Amino acid sequence: MGIMRQDTRPPASPVRDSRTHMLVTAQSIMSAQGFSGVGLSTILQAAGVPKGSFYHYFDSKEAFGQSLLERYFENYLAAMDGIFAPTGDETQDNGAARLQRYLARWQDTQTAEDAHSKCLVVKLAAEVADLSEAMRQVLNAGTARLVARLADVIAQGQADGTIRAHTPSHTLAAQIYQIWLGASLMAKITKDADPFVQARTSTRTVLHAP
């Protein structure tokens, strides 16, 4: 899943500032190194935050991981809403065009060098789903909301005729998400964009779209 480039500026409140700073710092590190391979000392040192401050906000590393993922999904879903927002151009506001804008951004972020743009679902899902039931539940709920957003756009495309597949929109959304999640994993292995080229072809086939 491609993460949108997020506004990482912390809220104005000084109480929330340290908490958010730790989460932002950890996202960049864990996007590159994973969850288990990064100790709290590494995060705190990078964030310039004492250990006592960490435990003021979080009971454990697992609780920290939950908050990290929850924040990630909230920002991601907000970014999706921005991508799907009307542009004022009728040719760009149909269902197929809106979906293509999102998929293009997915590819851009997953082939970028910026670690903070990388998808935490791709990086952490297989690892933490077996380690933490609480984190697995956050991943499950977050991806379900993401697929629901995609289903809404696909339903619009079916209604306006730019997507010709008659399969229920939620089923199509789940298929497309799985295709692109797989492409993101393969792109990490191949170190090139070919998996995304194939994902685009598969998406057109699934949607019966031009």
164: in domain: yes
| Separation CA 200–CA 209 (nearest Å) | 11
Quote the domain boundaries for residue 135: 14-207
Mean pLDDT of 177-204: 94
99: in domain: yes
Between residues 32 and 135, the one the model is more confident about: 135
Mean pLDDT of 191-206: 95
65: in domain: yes
4: in domain: no
Cβ burial of 88 (10 Å; 0-12, 13-18, 19+) is: exposed
**Tell me, what's the pLDDT at 114?**
66
What 3-state class would DSSP assign to 11? coil
On whether the CB atoms of residues 78 and 63 are closer than 8 A, the answer is no
Number of domains the chain is built from: 1
**Tell me, what's the pLDDT at 12?**
40
Check which CATH number belongs to the domain holding 122 and give it: 1.10.357.10
Using one digit for the tens of pLDDT, what is the confidence trace for 34-46?
999 899 999 999 9
9: in domain: no
- Is the pLDDT at 6 greater than 50? The verdict is no
5: in domain: no
- Is the pLDDT at 14 greater than 50? The verdict is no
150: in domain: yes
Using one digit for the tens of pLDDT, what is the confidence trace for 44-60?
999 999 988 899 999 99
Instruction: State whether the Cα torsion 34-39-41-42 is positive or negative.
Output: negative
- Is the pLDDT at 127 greater than 70? The verdict is yes
- Is the pLDDT at 147 greater than 80? The verdict is yes
Mean pLDDT of 114-134: 83
pLDDT band at 13 (very low <50, low <70, confident <90, very high): very low
23: in domain: yes
